[in-house]
Amino acid sequence: MDEKERKVSNSMIRDISLFAITWPIFIESGLQMFMRITDTFMLSRVSDEAVAAVGVANQIIQIAMLIFNFAAIGSAVVVSQYLGARKVGELGRLAASSISVNFLFGAVISVLVVSLSGPLLNVFGLDDSLFRLARSYLYIAGGTLFIQAILTALAAIIQSYGYTRQTMMVTIGMNVLNIIGNCMFIYGLFGFPKLGVTGVAISTAVSQCIGLIINFILLRKVSGVPILWRYFVRWQKDLVRKVLRIGIPSSAVTLSYSASQFVILAFIATLGAQMMTTKVYTQNIMFIVMILAASLGRGVQIIVGRRIGAGEKELAYREVFVNLRRSLLITLAGVCILVLVRVPLLELFTNDPTIISLGAALLLLSFLLEPGRNFNIILEKSLQAAGDARFPMIVSVAITWLFSLPLTYFLGIHMGYGLVGMWSAFIVDEWLRGLILFVRWRSRAWESKSLVQRSDKREAAM
């Protein structure tokens, strides 16, 4: 590494604490959810049919987004390790290759969602008026999925540099633009035509385009290395393989979890509308703690990836346990706050005493469930950051489908314990997976999975 590269490298790689890197990710994740909530709230002033149509279409959009998320996850881990190894010269090619891969998959998915919009929406059995509204939304929101694909990859790469506050600010700006756009296209502000559902889709797409441009500028600024246009076309196969090696197994975990949630919803549906409503309200209240666990996991992943790339495996090993304790305490604190006000929070949603009573009981079980979820996520993200992504995938998929789902049905449906039985199965699932991953981390088998070869590290130290 020459003197110029060393100066650029030192300016890019900063010491980062778990709290400093996590809180912007937490706020950003909440704001991404807030954007969808805002669309729903503002459309509710138009009609319930408009809300239902967008809700159904977004189910398809969210599943599609999970598919192309793999390149973002993989590139974030690879960038973290390369930053730790101070392999500055490869970062421009790596970023460009990752963005191009996500664009390609995003474009393919955009075409598929638009061309198959009819059959996809027919699955939900919509009446004609809802079908037309949902399809008009899906034509625009689905057709611009490639923008979200690029945006996802860009944000993940920028966060890997430690610039999480910057991506948070971009997301805040996108929310503001989305609200202004909704006001223009839903309510006819400034004389714009009232387009309803179509206007919401346009507003979302425009705000994402602007966020994409800003993130591109931000990436060039924070990376400190040139990202040439030819890098986006001429991929470096070795780098792409490393991204896919982490991204595909990591995304398989998310897809498996999402699919299992559909099955669980089917289980709950057999218990009646009241139980389904209780489940929705309870999880909505605990969603902030769930986002917190995911954000802490992402922060630990960035830190561990840096350590592994720098060859500091002993430090990475110990740091995971330190951050694990910290994150469990933070999660418990969040659960405590929500549990203390659980009844007033449930009363914001409903006056049904049965729902409030059962929901309050489920929220008390969060003292066991959410720390288990946090325990599992931190170790899963740490193993992925070390390059050991296949093992968490195998554990997650196997336990979910061979053990947890059968247990959920057995306790909730067969034994008749309902939602309390199902929540108990969720607790067992999270802690069992977490304990297996804990044993894996303690075994240090992940030490041989680094994406940065030893020869690469020697070169970086020169």
The pLDDT of 3-15, averaged and rounded, is: 48
For 280, the token pair is 């929705």
Please, which contacts does 144-147 make with residues 24 or more away whose CB atoms are closer than 8 Å?
144/110, 144/205, 144/208, 144/209, 145/61, 145/64, 145/65, 145/68, 145/106, 145/109, 145/110, 145/113, 146/103, 146/106, 146/107, 146/109, 146/110, 147/106, 147/205, 147/208, 147/209, 147/212
Alpha carbons within 13 angstroms on the beta-carbon side of residue 323 total 31
Residue with tokens 């009363």: 347
Other CB atoms within a 10 A radius of the CB of residue 348 amount to 9
Residue with tokens 């909505």: 284
Q: What is the pLDDT of residue 7?
A: 46
Say if CB 113 and CB 67 are below 8 A apart.
Answer: no
Q: pLDDT-derived band of residue 182, with 50, 70 and 90 as boundaries?
A: confident
Q: pLDDT tens for residues 117-144?
A: 888 888 777 678 778 888 888 888 888 8
The pLDDT of 329-338, averaged and rounded, is: 91
> Which of 50, 51, 201, 45 lies closest to 137 in space, CA to CA?
201
Asked if the model's pLDDT at residue 228 lies above 80, the reply is: no
Say if CB 419 and CB 279 are below 8 A apart.
Answer: yes
Helix 273-309, helix 18-44: angle, nearest 10:
150
DSSP string covering 17-68 = -HHHHHHHHHHHHHHHHHHHHHHHHHHHTT-HHHHHHHHHHHHHHHHHHHHH
Other CB atoms within a 10 A radius of the CB of residue 182 amount to 23
Asked if the model's pLDDT at residue 341 lies above 70, the reply is: yes
> Which of 71, 76, 92, 64 lies closest to 25 in space, CA to CA?
76
How much is the pTM? Answer: 0.81
Which residue type does 258 have? S
The pLDDT of 250-266, averaged and rounded, is: 84
Q: Which positions ≥6 away from 217 have C-beta within 8 Å?
A: none
Say if CB 60 and CB 109 are below 8 A apart.
Answer: no
